[in-house]
Structure 1
């Protein structure tokens, strides 16, 4: 019985002491234990069970598994982590000329998290940060540059931010095929900053949602205000989304009053009245037309104006036409009056 007890005690001591390795010892196999593990201790450290502690410069070349017996990385944890601070980085020496983009990608990754994805065989996460070193031979990023990428699980980059030291800054949102749908870019020249929405169906809605009148490029709702220049090759509606009137279409459509200091209209003019071949109606014809139609020749009636409105340029031209016709009538009457005066004198 004493022999059995002694043998059992030796076995327990051997198993427990095997969880500690002496200082400087290299562990070349994987570590996966449900009990306590101490590395770098010559004697059993005084901490409870289910602990892991490293002392001094002890090291191991295998994988460490916590909560798993099949660690696939240097540290493989199946569970939560609590820490005050963590620093994740990879070696990225400045000035190195990489043989391939994948080599630089691999060397410059600083942090990756989420589902493991691959680009040219290099693993990364759906959320990744890169610190590209200075590489003068690379025309794309010749200066040290920080990248932040968010990809979907199909390895398509959906969001990217980058800042090149002393130079460009960029932010972009990509579509499902990694094509740019929104970009803010600063070239680093302080006066070259722009926003891009390159898709042909892009639109901006202020004080509303993007599905409001999707056929329009810029929509401002409510009491929102716009100041500055608006340049568009499409139409602008204020208080209305209708740009057609009969067979006519209009670039600017306003449902409401318009106030302005000046309005310039480009149109043809009525100087043709003074041409020799212009037919000037007789006053008798004008009188008959008024009696029959109730308005001047070539001038729209009141009912037509109420129904269809008027074209400012065209209406001004017609009014000038009548003024010029009146001028001709007056000139003719004046000549007749002068002739009568001469006859009276005689």
Structure 2
């Protein structure tokens, strides 16, 4: 009996280690990493080996099924997945990837739809992040959680040097092809689309570039209103606009062929004569001209120097006998050239009625404009032509049509915004004097808006060092008019108190003293209202005094009458 019991225990233990799982026996697990579990097979070759013998060619056989349910109704977003974890450096384990089947909608009845989400781990702090998704329609999104195309790839990382998508063929012998093909349509399209943002790095397409194949014709072009751009060394070299204009070294060609570069003849040892003739009855038709300038020779070019002419445009008109020059626009070097920099200036000349060519305007490399002066010292420096007849020329500024009407326009004189740390300037007006001396300042508007006439340091909104003559002056009140003096409740200062104040201060109350007026000046508004108040108070004093005088006169008249009666009575007694 003892032997039978021992044998039964051995068989039972073997059954636990290598036997089948019986439902309702609780958790099934093994703590030995070399153990293997077989489903459908008694000889598993891996830690989990699933075998089915019911496969058919009619439909694929489901071998592993993962199901996730809620305690209530179905909701979008629930799913079942597989986690992949590895050992960490600290000895523990952590997730590195995940594949999850997720429900994307509630559906109706027994219907159900969803997709697959693939996640990977960039770091332990970020955790698992979605890398790819296959939605219910079979659309695949890489970096795009809502794919709109069969394969929809999005990227949010700056990949200036690394492409987002790479197709590489590693065959090194024989023949090889890398092909994107669409053979079902009559015309196939290979489209590259970019965002509306402006791009500056070539090699990464911006806008729409389409390679068309229709029949036996291969064409490279653009759709809609997009230009075709050609670039080398990461810089644009040529552009074809939607209207068919071709521009070389220009992004805005204005003709069928617009070249912004050297397309001119060169004469060794002299300047190049280049010209174009235009025959047209339209007034604004003319010719365009481009010019390059070197010192030295073609074989040994040298750097240009300051004041070297780089080119000019001469405009001629036919006088019935020959062509005569009417005006010239020239470009010259303005300052010492350096590597990568040629400072330049523009000058304008016209031919006057006597046939003399006169420099009219110059624009220096620093932006200063001179009219009537070749070396302007300000941003706009204007000098009227000199006259030997005693009559000078006018410099007129009008903000409208003609001299009589401004049409609502403004003539603006002033200094614009200054840079950080710059000192604010003033608007200064000078008057001319005789004998060619420098002008004398007559008026100034400083940076705070104060106007000075006859002074360069105004301390008020208008400071005049001199006399002012006007037919009428109106001053806006800063204090109320003193009509309140006539109010019944106004307390008029007694004359004795006023006398004591005058004896002590030597000036009227509420009126500045002579010393104060000499030091601070006189505020016309305040002094006028103060004097008016004193006049009104004086009027009240006079009225009060008049009342006293009238009362005294009544008493005098009564006394006179009494005296007269006494005299009559005395005379009667004397008789």
TM-score band w.r.t. shorter chain: 0.3 to 0.5
Give 1 or 2: higher helix fraction. 1
- Greater RCO, 1 or 2 (C-alpha within 8 Å, sep 6+): 1
Give the TM-score normalised by structure 1. Answer: 0.46
- When Rg is computed on C-alpha atoms for both structures, the one with the higher figure is 2
